[in-house]
Amino acid sequence: GQQLNQSPQSMFIQEGEDVSMNCTSSSIFNTWLWYKQDPGEGPVLLIALYKAGELTSNGRLTAQFGITRKDSFLNISASIPSDVGIYFCAGQRVGGSQGNLIFGKGTKLSVKP
């Protein structure tokens, strides 16, 4: 079935560092979404992207919809402790049914000891 390749799988951050993660797909997507999930909670939407090349920011977060429509990245600048959590990319495949989002496997952000 359709899969998204999300990397890295996990990373350790030190306060103040910039963080980058990305997702790639073998299919063309018409929507890319980035969610964050904290323990015991459902995913919360961070950024939504709707067209190729779109670059959108939400505070310290910046995400881009790749020109090929097969990839997206999320950057977090000047990380803070509350950035810890699991980040998921998700996409709506061209021709896919509404609400049928394909999710990446997540990037787990932890604080560097």
Partner 1 sequence: SAVISQKPSRDICQRGTSLTIQCQVDSQVTMMFWYRQQPGQSLTLIATANQGSEATYESGFVIDKFPISRPNLTFSTLTVSNMSPEDSSIYLCSAQGGSGANVLTFGAGSRLTVL
For 34, the token pair is: 């980035």
Q: Is 40 in the site for partner 1 (CB under 8 A)?
A: yes
ω into 8 cis (within 30 of 0): yes
Listed ranges 19-27, 52-60, 71-79, 94-102: which one lies at the site for partner 1 (CB under 8 A)? 94-102
Q: Smallest gap, in angstroms, from Cβ of residue 40 to partner 1?
A: 7
φ, ψ of residue 91 in degrees (nearest 5): -140, 155
Give the integer Cα–Cα distance in Å for 111 and 11: 8
Per CB under 8 A, residues contacting partner 1 are 1, 30-31, 33, 35, 40-45, 48, 50, 88, 90, 92, 97-101, 103-106
